[in-house]
Amino acid sequence: MTEYNELTPELVLELKAIVGKDNYYFADDINEDFAHDEMPIYGTHMPDAVVMPADTEEVSAIMKLCNENRIPVTVRGAGTGLVGGSTPMLGGVVLCTMRMDKIIAYDMSNLNVRVQPGVRLCDLAADAIGHGFMYPPDPGEKTGSLGGNVSTNAGGMRAVKYGTTRDYVLAMTVVLPSGEVMHLGRPVTKASSGYSLLHLIIGSEGTLGVITELTMKLLPNPQEDMSFILPFENIEGAINTVPKIKLAGLNPQSIEFMERDIVDSAANFSGTKIIPTKVNDREVGAYILVTLDGNDEDEIFQRAEMLAGIADESGAFDTLVLSQPSDKRDVWAVRSAFLTAIEADTRFLDEMDVVVPVDKIPSFLSFVLGVGEGHGMRIRSFGHAGDGNLHIYCCGNEGMDKDAFLEQSAKVMEAAYAKCAELGGQVSGEHGIGHAKRTYLRENLGDTAIELMAGIKRVFDPNNILNPGKVCQ
């Protein structure tokens, strides 16, 4: 086991000198939010200090100082994670990147943008549109930081067409635990130049290095898009439609699924009932939400007609067109607020972010629902039907205390992750592993894979100071 040292008064003074007294927080001055991410159920641990550097040079100085003195460092962006990835399990220093929030420059000729890691996803997406570009990755949490998105390889709703965050990282500046600065990747499309250290950092959850600058690929912004709601009697009918949509060559921007239960919760939470629960006098049990995009309105209308035909043949009650911009905006806002609605409706919450083959979604959901009922848990679910990424939440029943919830939730999770592996799935699609899902990762990948990951960690971070206790440890 790695032994760490405590912050001394001398080290405190050195850290203050690096970032300035207004960007350093110690002891009682530290906000409790720095003790956890958005899932405090996985534990809260107060850091000894919080530093907020402004640039690569300050990050380098912090890491060099902490490495030489064996002080653990946990990198944190906006803190929107859901697996305890930014929780300082061993105290030490939290290095918060949110002062590094500049969109540095656009390269209009080569379709990319340089940003600092603290830029929020929503800000980059809006700014890119203003320059005529689209930044395609679209995770549900729009206030997350770009550094956090890269560190977890976040995906989101558009992944079915445009891929995940990994597909848009061209280059980065990274500070190693030693304080050494590396420039990985290049702002080019192709690369076949040895091992990809760039892609090792992507998805490493702040365990190998600190990202201080990113060059992200952009696409021309589609001129037109249309969204549709396909209501079904049940989840089986909804999911069985997804392969038909993809095989028809409709090339959808997104294909989301929603069960009736979560739609009702969102309506109650928001006070807005924008998604109908009865269509053509039939009660809806599940929905597919589809978006088509492109530059030719007539061509999109042709694809929309094909979509309607597929929906009808598949048993959809109708194909509801979100023709008004306000309707489209409101429906997608409801979809983005599902987690918030779930949180508002339960005292205790645990989550899984599994990926299974698309055709296995109904059977997996049915299995988890049964397991949840057997352990006194209410199961809520939604997700990305186009790529098989499911967001499933265990909600404690009324009257269940925390200890009972944790005990029963662990049993549900163990059974669900085992079933996921049996179906050929993986533990996480976009939330990462962090602290909470390490055991399940080992069970899913096996000891050999985990030991290889641990070996990579030792090469990058021989003193094990950077985000210890996460992913493969």
pLDDT tens string 201-248: 999 999 999 999 999 999 999 999 999 999 999 999 999 999 999 999
Above pLDDT 90, what percent of the chain?
83
Question: Under CATH, to which class is 103-220 assigned?
Answer: alpha beta
> Average pLDDT of 356-380?
93
Q: What pLDDT shows up at residue 325?
A: 83
Above pLDDT 70, what percent of the chain?
100
Task: Indicate the pLDDT class of residue 343, thresholds 50, 70 and 90.
Answer: confident
- From the list 280, 323, 316, the residue with the least C-alpha distance to 301 is 323
Give me the sign of the Cα torsion angle 462, 466, 471, 473: positive
Give domain 224-339's CATH number out of 1.10.10.60, 3.30.70.2190, 3.90.1150.10, 3.30.1490.100: 3.30.70.2190
The label of the residue with tokens 């799935």 reads 425
Q: What pLDDT shows up at residue 121?
A: 97
Domain 346-454 has CATH 3.50.50.60: no
Domain 9-99 has CATH 3.30.1330.40: no
State the chain's mean pLDDT as an integer: 94
CA distance 322 to 36: 39
- Please say if the pLDDT value at position 266 is more than 90: no
The label of the residue with tokens 């080992």 reads 442
Do the domains spanning 224-339 and 346-454 agree at the CATH topology level?
yes
| Structure-token pair, residue 205 | 């959850």
447 burial level (CB within 10 Å; 0-12, 13-18, 19+): exposed
pLDDT tens string 388-418: 999 999 998 777 888 999 999 999 999 999 9
> Average pLDDT of 133-150?
95
> Average pLDDT of 111-124?
98
By mean pLDDT, which of 26-40, 79-93, 306-320, 338-352 is the weakest?
Answer: 338-352
Starting at the earlier edge strand, list the strands of the sheet with 49-51: 24-26, 49-51, 93-96, 73-76
Task: Indicate the pLDDT class of residue 332, thresholds 50, 70 and 90.
Answer: confident
CA distance 473 to 87: 15
Domain boundaries, the chain: 9-99, 103-220, 224-339, 346-454
CA distances from 387 to 354, 358, 430 (A): 11, 6, 11
Q: Enumerate the β-bridge partners of residue 95.
A: 51, 75
- Please say if the pLDDT value at position 270 is more than 80: no
pLDDT tens string 406-451: 999 999 999 999 999 999 999 999 999 999 999 999 999 999 999 9
Task: Indicate the pLDDT class of residue 68, thresholds 50, 70 and 90.
Answer: very high
- Amino acid occupying residue 65: L
